[in-house]
Structure 1
Amino acid sequence: MDAPKRRIVGHTLYSAHLNEERTVKIFLPPNYDEQLTYPILYCHDGNEFFSHGRIATIAADMILTGQLTPCLIVGIAVNHERRTADYSLFGERNDAYIRFVTTECIPYIESLYKVKHDPMYRAMAGISLGAVVTLELSFETTHLFNHMALFSGAYYNEVLTYASRIPTAHATSVFMLVGEQETDVETPGGHHDFLKANRDMKVLLEDMGLDVTYQEAPGTHIWGFWQRHIPEVLHFLDRGWKESST
């Protein structure tokens, strides 16, 4: 019998910190075996990573063709009405969201599924403000994950100032992607030059000693652009996981 191309399991968990339910989707690799343990990737804006980014389909194809180590991918659903409050560095629910991810979501998922409980095999990804909260989780938690994928980060001046005051980061490697046309992105707070902001953040992260893989490519602040580069991100993570095994 042919191996299934993909399997996605959904869970709903109540967050005491956010005082609401959150849906979490988990991609299980073809031939998922509970006798083994797997690397894991957590994604903010999780439903969008699965629907618009097609990350489960792409990962399954890469695993079946030997291009990607079998892994789990977790999509943490966003509360669209409270996204800025949750993801923004100084959002009113940002602290609660950080606690939800670290003390509720990750322990819940990793109690149910066979993953490697080692930051070298744990990664996190985010887009725009999701990239900001990914960075924050790296800065504020101790050895939670060692690999980051940051798409078109919304690095406003206050975020760059915050990052400039961090002496070091616990993560060891980061993939950064930004569109060459993201020079005038419309946001709820006005128009921003995300291309320059990502260039500035790259320098800050390198100064911290991070191994930064940085890429600018033709594109704007839309899922069509980010989806095209999902395979490159998965290749980047795969290299990190394989290096950890040697």
Structure 2
Amino acid sequence: MVSHIRLSQSDLLLLHKNKDTVFLQIHFGGISVDLSHYTQRVMESHELYSAHLRETRTLKVYLPNGVRRKPGQPVLYCHDGLEFFTHGRIATLNNQLMAEEGTAALVIVGIAVNKAHRTDDYAPDGIRHESYNRFVTEECIPFIENRYGFHTSLDSRFMAGISLGGAASLDLYLQYPQWFHKLLLFSGAFNGSALETAQNKLDLSDLAAFMLVGQEETAVATKRGPLDILTANRTMKHLLQTRGASLYYVEATGTHLWGFWQSHIPEALRWLNRQLTMNV
């Protein structure tokens, strides 16, 4: 049922701003309605040519409140980036957390996937994986930071990935710890190569990660055959923790689908926000 309210001339619309949110309050008949849970945001898209991949990638950028040129601005880079916005609804969920819980104004950069080369790019043993890593670190991040003037510090730069994108995120940290050491890993598809790389590291005490895996993810279909992602995540958790990593590890009822990951994105963003407050 939808109710319509007609405001008279004596009714008052009050609009004011603070640094994070536009607040709208409507006063009528002695009743005040607060619509402040709607925050401003800007979405921008860029086409970035990669010399390392020899192709153009779309970057979709979510700017809460249209932030620009803020040193130390927290930024989250996402593999399968367009899907994080469409299937994961990460921009909408972040907006809600900002308005309702006062979380930080987080910029989110969605790096579009090349579906034809997803395994080649994301898998640690993929034939284009090193080129993809160099695209992210040498082309994508410098482009974003120069374009928007963020110059993000290591402690306020995050990376997220689902499935094979989770494996790519962790491997980027393992290979390039000077770029990332705080990760959101959703059902990471950690194969033998990923586990071996982590096992060969002696000290991972600078790593902080949110890890989520579904209890039904025991035989997930992949191009390389079924993968027991639940067991792989339990094994990776043990490897990382015994090497000093700080983990927020979640096992929950769920399967290898966006609906499961989306339902836990708010929890992951709250963890991310706590990481930021620890740095203050």
| 1:139 alignment counterpart | 174
| 2:188 alignment counterpart | 153
Q: Which has the larger radius of gyration?
A: 2
| 1:126 alignment counterpart | 161
| 2:63 alignment counterpart | 28
Whether 1:198 and 2:233 are equivalent positions in the alignment is yes
Whether 1:231 and 2:263 are equivalent positions in the alignment is no
Whether 1:180 and 2:215 are equivalent positions in the alignment is yes
| 1:6 alignment counterpart | 41
Q: The residue matched to 2:278 in structure 1 has which SS?
A: helix
Does structure 2 retain, via aligned residues, the 8 Å contact 1:30–1:64?
no
Q: CA deviation at 1:157?
A: 2.1
| 1:77 alignment counterpart | 112
CA offsets per residue over residues 56-98 of structure 1, 9 Å max, x none?
1111121122431111111000000000000011111111101
Q: CA deviation at 1:167?
A: 1.8
Q: Which amino acid aligns with 1:32?
A: V
CA offsets per residue over residues 108-134 of structure 1, 9 Å max, x none?
001112435211111100111101111
| 1:110 alignment counterpart | 145
5+ residue gaps, structure 1? none
5+ residue gaps, structure 2? 1-14, 17-21, 23-38
Calculate the TM-score normalised by the size of structure 2.
Answer: 0.83
| 1:168 alignment counterpart | 203
How many equivalent residue pairs? 245
Alignment counterpart, residue 246 of structure 2, candidates 208, 211, 214: 211
Q: The residue matched to 2:184 in structure 1 has which SS?
A: strand
Q: CA deviation at 1:31?
A: 5.3
Does structure 2 retain, via aligned residues, the 8 Å contact 1:30–1:60?
no
| RMSD over equivalenced CA pairs, Å | 1.6
CA distance 1:98–1:31, shift in 2 (3 Å): closer
CA distance in 1, matches of 2:160, 2:110: 10
| 2:91 alignment counterpart | 56
Does structure 1 retain, via aligned residues, the 8 Å contact 2:205–2:246?
no
Q: Which moved more, 1:96-105 or 1:66-75?
A: 66-75
CA distance 1:90–1:224, shift in 2 (3 Å): same
Q: Which moved more, 1:65-74 or 1:194-203?
A: 65-74
CA distance in 2, matches of 1:35, 1:234: 20
CA distance 1:241–1:192, shift in 2 (3 Å): same
CA distance 1:221–1:208, shift in 2 (3 Å): same
Percentage identity across paired residues of the two chains: 45
CA offsets per residue over residues 22-70 of structure 1, 9 Å max, x none?
0001110125254565211100000000100000111112112243111
Does structure 2 retain, via aligned residues, the 8 Å contact 1:44–1:77?
yes
Q: CA deviation at 1:170?
A: 7.2
Does structure 2 retain, via aligned residues, the 8 Å contact 1:38–1:114?
no
Q: Which moved more, 1:181-190 or 1:108-117?
A: 108-117
CA offsets per residue over residues 214-239 of structure 1, 9 Å max, x none?
00011000000000000001000000
Q: Which amino acid aligns with 1:90?
A: D
